[in-house]
Amino acid sequence: MSTFDSTKKSLKDLLGEIREGKIQLPDFQRDWRWDHERIQSLIASVSQAFPIGAIMTLKNGGEDIRFKVRPIEGVDPQSAQGAPETLILDGQQRLTSLFQSLVAQKPVQTTNVRGNRVERWYYMDMEKCVDDKVDESIISVPADTKIVRKFRGDQAMDLSSREKEYKRGMFPLHKVFDYTRWRRGYNNYWDRDSAKMELWDNFEIKVIDVFKDYNVPVIILDKQTPKEAVCNVFERVNTGGEPLTVFELLTATFAADDFLLREDWETRAERLGEYPVLADLKNVNFLKVIALLVTNSKARMAISCKNSDILGLGVADYKDWADRVEEGFKEAARFLQEQKIFDAASLPYPAQLVPLTAILVNLGCVAQLRKVREKFLTRWYWCGVLGELYGTSADLRFANDLSEVTNWVNGKAVEPTMIQEATFQTHRLETLRTKASAAYKGVHALIMRNGCLDFRTGRSIDEQIFFDDSIDIHHIFPKAWCKKREFKADDYNSIINKTPISKGTNRRVIGDKAPSVYLKEIQKESQKYLSGPRPNMDEGLDMDEVLASHLIRGDALRSNDFWGFFNARKEALLKAIEKVMGKPVIRDEDDDSDAST
């Protein structure tokens, strides 16, 4: 059975139903935002009977859909009271532009080339229209003066009175469906001059009749269309605007029950934003966690966070879980800080926050126990990161994680499927070269998690030092030094040749120098941070400790032995990966080969 119908409707009737409030917008639609030039182009298309695309609507009043609604911008609220018959899904910008310019009898609210809000009246030059110069015929004038000025401020056109409109032959477009009085005034002004009356007759045939007879294709979705289908349809047809998310749709649904979801989320997002790692948290992911927990709490209901599950949430569900989920995200942020992941840019998989938070909420206080963190949650998290298992849509994995990790912690099940599936191959380490890779970010954090010390101060890198000293991942054997020796970029740009180093140290001390040179300078510089005499610093003992905390062999750096360093660090990183994943990496057949050949 078809869930939609298609027809044609006259533009005049469509705009009339908008004025009467029979056609309105669901509240998830964004504000109208078309600029002056797009409005002109749209009017020109209609005046020449060119197609402007189909409009998609939804019949109002379905059992599954209750949206808060609002009139199109420019409609008098007094004339649009009561429930609408139809809701606009696609075509808001076009219909609003045409309503305001042709029907509203008020200036059009638009923007100029600078993006500033302006009010304009639209006109058509009758003579140019008759001469088939329609694209040149449409002008707009400021609403306050109705005077168009030239570049230097000289007056170019004054349409500030009806008589001046008649004199110029400039027809006001907001009279196109009710032009009788304007035509009578025009004829009287010209004393029924035959040439001017002929101009009007030709203009009426070529332009006004086109507007009167113009039909718009309309696709009408049945009122029983599910909310998820409305969301999917909107995302596919609304290519000219921002995509509709389930959050927007749920916002409109909750508004019908007088709950302001957007305002509630913005308040929570501000509080969660105090944790840098949550700075980019998406509202949809917040809803996914709630959906997971709601479906998990209901008997005989599959755990899920698909769009249909989110759209099935009621206001009571949201209110019941939102506070606990907010606290769950804060606990997730603290967990990530323990893993040395301090900000959103360093977060390997933002999506993995969803199952992590759901698991933390579901486990409650148990999740805060050190042994639970180390034995279960940490291993699960790093298997997901280094196994690179959250790179695509993972809603099903989220559901499995919540169920399996919770049962695993409670001793009711074996290792979760995700841990069983996670693998890391040795050659992958050499291919990690940019922050675009989640595993790259993961290894960066893993090095800090190993207890690495700041190159200059010898202090352990915690959150404060991370931000205060602008810690980032930099080359150990500098890029310029490697280039001079014609090493392959794929080798020296690998994460094997990178480590967390402060911005100042990298720029001022390391630069393009050989490791043997900059190590001595760092040792000398580090004396400033010592509280007392440390004679062993000159012998490099403290620096060896610093390098070892980065999984770096000090002797290889002091002798500028790139390949000795490279192979040793690769093996050290692989052991760190095996430790945190709780399983061996997959060794390549040629893994023991000499990397220098």
Supply the mean pLDDT for the chain. Answer: 88
CA distance 550 to 406: 34
Q: pLDDT class for 466, splitting at 50, 70, 90? A: confident
C-beta separation of 333 from 277 below 8 A: yes
* pLDDT of residue 589 exceeding 90: no
Q: 3-state secondary structure string, 513-581?
A: CCHHHHHHHHHHHHHHHCCCCCHHHHHCHHHHHHHHHCCCCHHHHHCCCHHHHHHHHHHHHHHHHHHHH
Residue range 327-364, pLDDT digits in tens:
999 999 999 999 999 999 999 999 999 999 999 999 99
Q: Pull the structure tokens for residue 49.
A: 């009977």
DSSP designation for 453:
B
pLDDT of residue 539: 42
Q: How far from chain centre, in Å, is Cα 236? A: 17
* pLDDT of residue 227 exceeding 80: no
Q: pLDDT class for 523, splitting at 50, 70, 90? A: confident
Picking from 3-17, 138-152, 393-407, which range would have the lowest pLDDT averaged per residue? 138-152
* pLDDT of residue 594 exceeding 50: no
pLDDT of residue 596: 39
Which H or E run includes 441?
Answer: helix 438-449
DSSP designation for 98:
H
Residue range 80-93, pLDDT digits in tens:
777 899 988 888 88
Most confident of 424-438, 459-473, 530-544: 424-438
pLDDT of residue 454: 84
Backbone angles phi, psi at 55, to 5 degrees: -105, 140
Residues near 161 by Cβ (< 8 Å), separated by ≥ 6?
none
In 33-47, which positions are buried (b, 16+ CB within 10 angstroms) versus exposed (e)?
ebebebbbebbbbbb
The rounded percent of the chain whose pLDDT value lies above 70 is 90
Classify strands 86-90 and 23-26 as parallel, antiparallel or unpaired. parallel
3-state SS, residue 81? coil
The rounded percent of the chain whose pLDDT value lies above 90 is 63
pLDDT of residue 597: 30
Average pLDDT of 471-489? Answer: 94
CA distance 555 to 561: 8
Q: Hey, where are the domains in the chain?
A: 4-105+214-227, 108-208, 245-422, 428-581
Residues near 387 by Cβ (< 8 Å), separated by ≥ 6?
418, 421, 422, 423, 424, 581
CA distance 190 to 201: 14
Q: Where is pLDDT greater, at 243 or 457?
A: 457
Q: Pull the structure tokens for residue 224.
A: 């029983």
Q: pLDDT class for 237, splitting at 50, 70, 90? A: low
pLDDT of residue 459: 81
* pLDDT of residue 531 exceeding 60: no
Residue of 202, 218, 179 lying closest to 94 (CA atoms): 218
190 CB-contact burial (10 Å; exposed 0-12 / middle 13-18 / buried 19+) = middle
Q: Pull the structure tokens for residue 471.
A: 């810690």
373 CB-contact burial (10 Å; exposed 0-12 / middle 13-18 / buried 19+) = middle
Q: Pull the structure tokens for residue 426.
A: 């040795």
CA distance 489 to 503: 22
Residues near 365 by Cβ (< 8 Å), separated by ≥ 6?
none
